Amino acid sequence: MLTTCKVRKILNLRLFEDENGRAWSRNVMDRELEVLCVSQFTLQCILKGNKPDFHSAMLAELAQPFYNNMLEQLREAYKAELIKDGQFGAKMQVLIQNDGPVTIQLESPAGPTDPKLLSKQEKQQQRKEKTRSKGPSESSREKAALRSKADPSASSGAEGDVSSEREP
């Protein structure tokens, strides 16, 4: 399941220094640190001009069980008392202190949750797979052969040739 991979990643990312000051050598479990999970499924948006569009956000009735399942897996894989969370769907003020010059963003593959969009995406994927399995058609092979006979210096780029150069 997708959340199992994310739980493993969250708990095993070596983000912290060890007792000798060596950076990137300890994870949350090594240091026995707390994990704060804040649900942001409903905040997934894209910008359309100056206005946010939330159509790609997971529906709350799907997101809440998904999020709760992730929390449950974190608590099973680590110390339950060290897994903290907020209230799903609530307006919260979270005060954090970032420590360090890096931000690490873990992303799950994006996918539409609307059945119409899912169907459209599946059809596009099927077309891509059909195209890959067919390979080049006879007509494209014939056209390439005719091109090379007409102009021996012409290249399709298939051999890594560069057919144009920029002038300074």
**Hey, which residues are catalytic here?**
42
- Amino acid symbol at 134: K
CA distance 24 to 18: 8
CA distance 14 to 24: 5
Q: Is the Cβ–Cβ distance between 87 and 36 less than 8 Å?
A: no
Q: Secondary structure of the chain: what % helix, strand, coil (to 5)?
A: 45, 10, 50
CA distance 131 to 140: 13
